[in-house]
């Protein structure tokens, strides 16, 4: 059973821990990690995360992301511990998305 998220993941940026990163993945295979601080500087601390996600597009194919989640660090194995992940619901999909 997953533990509760450490913050409201889809509210406004000021409610998200500033040390986290937004991980985005596109259907074309491209991925990006955007630091919370950069999002807050560019869009304001009161920016709505769902509205922000709706505006984001892939630099390669210009499509919306198929996966969006907050991650505690933009690294994966073999680093220990594994980064903590908080999935975001994407309005144009049903519930939090996952990529196998």
pLDDT tens, position by position, 1-47: 456 777 787 789 999 989 999 999 999 999 999 999 999 999 999 99
In a domain, 2, yes or no: no
Domain extent for 64: 13-87
The pLDDT of residue 10 is 76
In the chain, what percentage of residues exceed pLDDT 70?
A: 82
The pLDDT of residue 83 is 82
In a domain, 78, yes or no: yes
Taking the model in full, what pTM does it have? 0.79
In a domain, 44, yes or no: yes
In a domain, 4, yes or no: no
In a domain, 3, yes or no: no
Average pLDDT score over the chain: 84
3-class DSSP state for residue 97?
A: coil
Q: Does the pLDDT of residue 71 top 50, yes or no?
A: yes
In a domain, 6, yes or no: no
């Amino acid at each position: 059973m997953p533990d509760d998220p450490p913050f409201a993941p889809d509210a406004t940026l000021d409610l998200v821990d500033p040390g986290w990163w937004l991980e985005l993945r596109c259907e074309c295979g491209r991925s990006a990690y955007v630091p919370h601080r950069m999002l807050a500087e560019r869009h304001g601390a009161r920016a709505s995360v769902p509205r922000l996600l709706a505006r984001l597009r892939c630099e390669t194919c210009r499509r919306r992301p198929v996966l969006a989640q907050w991650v505690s660090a933009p690294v994966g194995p073999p680093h220990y511990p594994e980064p903590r992940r908080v999935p975001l619901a994407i309005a144009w999909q049903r519930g939090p998305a996952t990529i196998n």
